[in-house]
Amino acid sequence: MQRIDSNERLEESFQHRIRMRAYDLYTQGGKVDGHALDDWLQAEDEILRGASRHWAWRHKTEKSPPK
């Protein structure tokens, strides 16, 4: 049960970060209506790419032998 809770919190965290970034894009674009989906998709891409790079880096450093 604990694993489900942590997965739900992780998903909520990503959703929140995407929502905040999409709003940033909206305000940077002059708060012009009609681009919500574009802003959301760009925000989602940025956040998920950042997370992928982070996890790839962690995986690489955890697997690297000590120097």
* pLDDT at site 23: 97
Residue 7 pLDDT grade (very low, low, confident, very high; cuts 50, 70, 90): confident
Concatenating the DSSP letter of every residue in 6-52 gives HHHHHHHHHHHHHHHHHHHHHHHTTS-TT-HHHHHHHHHHHHHHHHH
Q: At which residue do the structure tokens 């998903």 appear? A: 11
Q: Given phi > 0 = left and psi -120 to 50 = alpha, else beta, which region is 66?
A: beta
The answer to whether 44 touches 25, Cβ cutoff 8 Å, is no
pLDDT, tens digit, 9 for 90 and up, residues 20-46: 999 999 999 999 999 999 999 999 999
